[in-house]
Chains A and B, each alone.
Chain A
Amino acid sequence: MDFVNAIILLLNYIFIPALTYGSQLALGAIFVTLIYGILRFANFATGDMMSFGTMATILFTWYFQSLGVSLGVLPTALLAIPFGIIFMIMYMLLIDKFVFKYYRYQKSPPVQFAMVSIGVMFVTQAVVRIIIGPADRRFFDGEKFIIKAREFKEMTGLNEGLALKSTQVITIFVTIVLVSLLFWFLNRTKTGKSMKAYSDNEDLALLSGIDPKKIVLVTWIIAGILATIGGALYGLDKSFKPFTYFNNMLPIFAAAIVGGIGNPFGAFLGGYVIAFSEILLTYAYKKFFMYVLPASMEPDSLVQLLSTDYKFAVSFSILVIVLIYRPSGIFKGKVL
C-alpha cells in the first residue's frame, strides 16, 4: 500500500507536471529548431513571439466570451487558438518581409541575424505590452479538474491524492497530435521533404528546383502554429505574463540545443529532458522516502538536492555541460 502511495506521490508531483511543462517547452524548442535549421539563425525573439501569439489568442477568447460562445467544459481559448494562429502568422510574415528578408538576400552571417532578432524582440515586447499590458492574466475557463485529489482519495482509499488538471491533459494531448502531424508533414509530404533538403544543403536544394520562397513561407507558417499553440497552452496551464514568456526563451533554447539544434525530434525530446531534470533535481523527496523506507530510517531533512530557486539554473547547467561535451546535442543536429 505504501508503495502505491509513493508511486502516486511521484506521479502527482513530478511526472504529470514535468510532462506538461516538457510539452510546452518541446513546442517552443521545435519552433527554435525549425527557424535555426531553415532560416539559419538563433531567434532571440522566440519568447516574445510566443507571447504575441498568446496575446492574440487571449483577445479572441475575450471576444468569444463577450459573445457568449463557449465550449462547455473545455476552455474557450481552444476555439480562439486558430484565430490567434492566423494573427501570429501574419505578424511573422510581416516581420520577415520588412526585417529578415533583406539579410537573407544579403547572405548575412548568423550573428547579424541574431542581432536583428534582438531588435525584433524589443519591438514585439513593446507591441505586446502596449496592446495588453504587462500584468499577469488568466484566461482559463471551463472545468478545471478532471480528477480532484479528494475524489481520488475517496475512490481508491489511498493516502495520497492524484489531481489531474484539464489543462494538463489538453496540453499533453494537443502536443502529441501536433507533433505527430508535424513529423508526418516533414517526412511524408513533398513540401516537408523539400524543407529537409533545403536545411541539409541549400545550394543542392536550389539546384534541384526547390523554391526557397515557398520553403521560407511554409517555415514561418509552421513556426506561427507552434509558437501560438505552445504559448497558449503555457498560458492556460499557468498564466500569461509577457515577462515570464521572455524568460521562458532560455529553457526553450536549452531544450533545442540539448536535443541537437536543427533536429525537430531532438528538440521535442530535449523539452522533456529539461523539464524532467528541473523537477527531479529540485523536488523534496522527504515524503517519498517516508513511504518507501521503514519508519526507523526516515530522513530528517527534506532530501532535496537543490532548492527550487535553482530551477532555471539546473536546465542551464545541463545545457552548458552538453555544449562542452557534445556541442551538436544529444541527438546529432543541423539536419531536419
Chain B
Amino acid sequence: MMALILMVGIFQSWNIALSIFNLCLISAVMTMGANIQWGYAGLINFGIMGYTALGGLAAVLISVDPVQEAWRAGGFDILMSLWLIVVMVLVIRFILKRFEKSKIRTYSIAAIIISGILLIRFSAEPGIEAIEAVDPAKTGFLGGFGLPIIFSWIVGALFAGGLAFIVGKVALGLRADYLAIATLLISEIVIAIIKHEDWLTRGVKNVIGLKRPAPYELDLQTTDWFIKLVEKFNAGKLSVIENLADRQAALNQLVIEGSSVFVKLCYSGLFLVVVIILLILTQKALYSPWGRMMRAIRDNEEAANAMGKNVVKQHLLIFILGSAIVGIAGAMLVTQDGLFTPGSYRPMRYTFLIWVMVIVGGSGNNFGAILGGFVVWFLWIEAAPISLFLINFFTAGIPETNALKAHLIESVPYFRFLLMGLGLLFIMRYRPKGILPEKIEIK
C-alpha cells in the first residue's frame, strides 16, 4: 500500500501523494470507529456522516474567535433557549422517574416536548435573526472559543459521543436492519440542523480560513531555516545550474513546492500519532477481558446475558466509543481542509464508503480497518485515472470522434462508484471476512 502511494509521489507529484496519504489516515480513523461498533459488537451504524459532521462542527466552535457583536445582539436569547431545553429535559426526566408508565404519561411528555419546541422557536427567533444580521457576509454567527484547533479533536469526540448516547438510548433496542435505517435517518437530521441553523454554524455559507496547527505556506517561504533546508535537500539539483539568477529562481520554485509538502507532512505527523494511539488502545481493548466479553455478546447475546453481562449497557458503551472515534476523524478532516462546508456531507461519501472500507479491510480486525481505509480511499481517488487509462487502452483502435468513446471518457468520474460496488460485491462473495480476517488468539 505504501508502495502505491510512493508511486503516486514519484509519477504524479508529492503533493498529491501526501494529500491522499493524509485522507487515508483520516479514513483509517473513521473505519476504526465503525469497526469497533460492527466488528467488536455487531452493531450497524449507518450514521457515520452525522458524527463526522459533528466533529467538524467542534473544530469550528473551538477554533473560531468569538463574534462579540453577535453575542451582544442575540447571545442572551440563545442562552435562554439553551436553559429552556435543559429545563425541559429535567422535567421529562422527573416525570419519567416519578410516574408509572401509562398512556397519560406518554401524552403529557409529548405535550411538553411539542410546547417546549414551540416556545423555544418563538422565543429564540428574534435573537437568531439579530445574530444572523451581524455582518452576514463574514460572520453572521456566534463564533467559537478561539482556542487552538487541536483541542477540537477531543471536543469532537465528546460531541459525537454525546449524540451517540442519545441515539443509542433511543435506537439500540431495534433489530439490526432497523437500526441501520434509523441511524442513517438520524444522521440526515443532524446534517439538516447543521446546514440550516446559521446562527451556530453559518450553514451553507460555510466557515473558511480556520486556524491551523501547522505553519502557513507563505510564512514558510520567507523563513530562513526552511529555505536553507530546501537548499540542502536539493543541493545536487541546484549545483548543476550554472547561472546564479537561474539558480535563485529554481530555488524559489522548490521552496514554494517544498512549503506545501512540508505543511502536509506536518499534518501527516499529527494524524499518524492519532492513528497509532488509537491502534494501541483498540488492540489492547480487543484482547482484554472487555474485548472478550464484547465478542461473546456479539456472537450470542442471550448466552452472554445469561452469564450476567449487561448487554444493553455494553452496546451503548461501544456505540458511544465508536462514534467518538468517528468524531475525532471528523474534526481532523476539517482541521486539514481549514474549512467547514456542511453541504459537502453526503451519505455516499461519509457513510457508505466508510462501510465499504470496513467490509473490505476485514471487520473485527483493527489492522484490517486501517488497510481498508487506505486501499479503498486510494482506489476512490485514483479510480478516475485508472479507468481513463483502461478506456483508452481498450478503445485504442477507435477514433477520438467516436460518440461512444467520447461519452465514456466524459463519464470517467463515475467509474469510481462502479469500482467500489464491484469491489464490495466480490469481497462479500469470495472473502466475506475481508482482506485481513479477524483472528482471535486465545492465550
Given contact pairs A118-B424, A310-B196, A312-B192, A123 touches B177 in the complex (Cβ within 8 A): no
Per-residue contact bits, chain A 297-336, to B (CB 8 Å; 1 contact, 0 not): 0000100010101101100110110011101000000000
- Residues of A contacting B181 in the complex (Cβ-Cβ under 8 angstroms): 42, 253, 257, 319
Cβ of B418 and Cβ of A313 under 8 Å apart?
A: no
List B385-443 residues whose CB lies under 8 Å from chain A.
408, 410-411, 414-422, 424-425, 428-429, 432
When the two chains form the complex, which single residue of B44, B180, B196, B418 contacts A122, counting CB atoms closer than 8 Å?
B418
Interface check A134, CB cutoff 8 A: yes
CA distance A156 to B125 in the complex (A): 40
Given contact pairs A123-B421, A319-B182, A313 touches B193 in the complex (Cβ within 8 A): yes
CA distance A115 to B426 in the complex (A): 12
Nearest CB in chain A to that of B171: its residue: A323
CA distance A301 to B355 in the complex (A): 45
Given contact pairs A119-B424, A122-B421, A130-B414, A250 touches B44 in the complex (Cβ within 8 A): no
List A112-135 residues whose CB lies under 8 Å from chain B.
112, 114-116, 118-127, 129-130, 133-134
- Residues of A contacting B182 in the complex (Cβ-Cβ under 8 angstroms): 319-320, 323
Cβ of A114 and Cβ of B196 under 8 Å apart?
A: no
Interface check A102, CB cutoff 8 A: yes
Mostly, the A contact residues are helix
CA distance A253 to B177 in the complex (A): 11
Interface check A17, CB cutoff 8 A: no
Interface check A289, CB cutoff 8 A: no
Cβ of A309 and Cβ of B192 under 8 Å apart?
A: yes
CA distance A114 to B419 in the complex (A): 19
Cβ of B421 and Cβ of A307 under 8 Å apart?
A: no
Nearest CB in chain B to that of A128: its residue: B414
Cβ of B176 and Cβ of A111 under 8 Å apart?
A: yes
List B28-81 residues whose CB lies under 8 Å from chain A.
44
Cβ of A316 and Cβ of B411 under 8 Å apart?
A: no
Question: What size tier do the contact residues of chain A reach?
Answer: 35 or more
Cβ of A119 and Cβ of B421 under 8 Å apart?
A: yes
Cβ of B428 and Cβ of A116 under 8 Å apart?
A: yes
When the two chains form the complex, which single residue of A112, A118, A250 contacts B352, counting CB atoms closer than 8 Å?
A118
When the two chains form the complex, which single residue of A112, A119, A123, A317 contacts B189, counting CB atoms closer than 8 Å?
A317
**Shortest Cβ-Cβ A-B pairs, 8 listed:** A122-B421, A123-B421, A126-B418, A126-B417, A119-B424, A129-B414, A316-B185, A119-B425
7 residue pairs of the A-B complex, CB under 8 angstroms, read A110-B176, A111-B180, A123-B421, A125-B421, A309-B192, A316-B188, A327-B178
Q: A120-B425, A126-B417, A126-B421 are in contact. List 13 more A-B contacts (CB 8 A).
A: A115-B428, A116-B425, A118-B356, A119-B425, A119-B428, A122-B424, A123-B417, A130-B418, A309-B195, A316-B186, A316-B189, A317-B189, A320-B186
Residues of chain B at the chain A interface (Cβ within 8 Å): 44, 106, 118, 125, 170-171, 174-178, 180-182, 184-186, 188-189, 192-193, 195-196, 348, 352, 355-356, 359, 408, 410-411, 414-422, 424-425, 428-429, 432
Residues of chain A at the chain B interface (Cβ within 8 Å): 41-42, 99, 102, 109-112, 114-116, 118-127, 129-130, 133-134, 246, 250, 253-254, 257, 301, 305, 307, 309-310, 312-313, 316-317, 319-320, 323-325, 327
